[in-house]
Amino acid sequence: MKRILILLLVVLPFLARAQNVSWRFFDRYSKAEGFSSVQLERKMMRMMSRQASERGDEKLSELFRGLESIRIVALDGGDGQQFMADAEALVNHANYHFQMVMSESRDGQVTRFYLRDAIPPGYSELVMLTSGPKETVAVNIYGQFDLKQVSRLSTIRPKRPKE
């Protein structure tokens, strides 16, 4: 029993660090001047899951139940070269094992999606990087999901208040 406890104490910090490899990037830029950020954590995902279930959208409810967090950082203006260079360094780092799963270029905007298997097993991490003259944004989604499910998030639009 002592050996198992000691092993857990030694291994857990490495597992936690491996799980959160991109969080340091998002935390750094979310606090930086000239950037806007949104962080949706586990409790919010559970609330969104309940709302989707109440509206009868069980697929969306299931997606939100599996998500642990969504982090978004956007450049408010100015030059995003260093921001994108840091983001690209993150997803291209050999130890993190991100694989590009999709790339799109339209009207000077380039969007790339990167995916990796995360820890614990069954969890995934998706990073979307968009840069160009219209916007410079990085999005991180972490949890239990598949790509087909995550594509549902792009269909969600906030309702504008009536004027």
Residue 40 lies in a domain: yes
Instruction: Count up the domains in the chain and report the number.
Output: 1
pLDDT one-digit tens code per residue, 79-123: 788 899 999 988 888 788 899 999 999 999 999 999 998 878 889
H helices of 93-150, in order, are 147-150
pLDDT band at 10 (very low <50, low <70, confident <90, very high): very low
Residue 54: the pLDDT is 94
Residue 114: the pLDDT is 93
Identify which has the larger pLDDT, 146 or 21: 146
What whole-number distance in Å separates Cα of residue 64 and Cα of residue 127?
A: 17
Residue 2: the pLDDT is 44
Q: Is the pTM of this model over 0.75?
A: yes
Residue 24 lies in a domain: yes
- In the predicted model, is pLDDT for residue 1 greater than 60? no
pLDDT one-digit tens code per residue, 54-73: 999 999 899 999 999 999 99
Residue 161 lies in a domain: no
Nearest partner of 69 among 121, 117, 130, 23, judged by Cα: 23
Residue 41 lies in a domain: yes
Residue 163 lies in a domain: no
**Cβ partners under 8 Å of residue 92, min gap 6:** 98
Residue 10 lies in a domain: no
Residue 50 lies in a domain: yes
Terminal alpha carbon distance of the chain: 65
Range of the domain at 138: 20-155
Residue 4 lies in a domain: no
